[in-house]
Amino acid sequence: MIGATNASEDSMDPALLRPGRFDRKVYVTRPGLEDREKLFAYYLGKVKHEASIDIAHLARKAVGQSPAEIENVVKEAALITVRNGKEMISYKEITEAIERIELGIKNKIKMNDREREMVAYHETGHLMATYLLHPRDDVFKASIIPRKGS
């Protein structure tokens, strides 16, 4: 008999984990950078997309994503492309898909110029603190557009 689960062992019934129940355990980890590039190339190969899309850049943005999540990004980008009346997926649609999946749909709230400026200062403070604590040279985007709980 073969069994598979994505549940952690500490959440499973102890009866399942007793000796003799599972002779072999195979742990599947999330793909690394090179594998994420291959996954993006594979899934983008199934849809019309602009040749200028930098797959290596997308793979760097997708740290920690599973193959299913990467497939979902490409499918969401295809839906956004169709909604926008375009023929091919561009980097803009893929970025929107990633943000929509990770952060939720944009909330359109009205802010006057002063509110927008204060929110921008506030969010810049978050960005600066993050950079000082974890310096990186690959920040992809900073935004003051609210999304779901973000």
Structural tokens at position 120 = 């921008």
In this structure, are residues 33 and 71 in contact, taking their beta carbons and an 8 Å threshold?
no
Q: Of 30, 105, 85, which is closest to residue 63 (Cα–Cα)?
A: 30
76 is catalytic: no
Select which of 50, 69, 71, 123 is catalytic.
Answer: 123
Give catalytic residue positions: 123
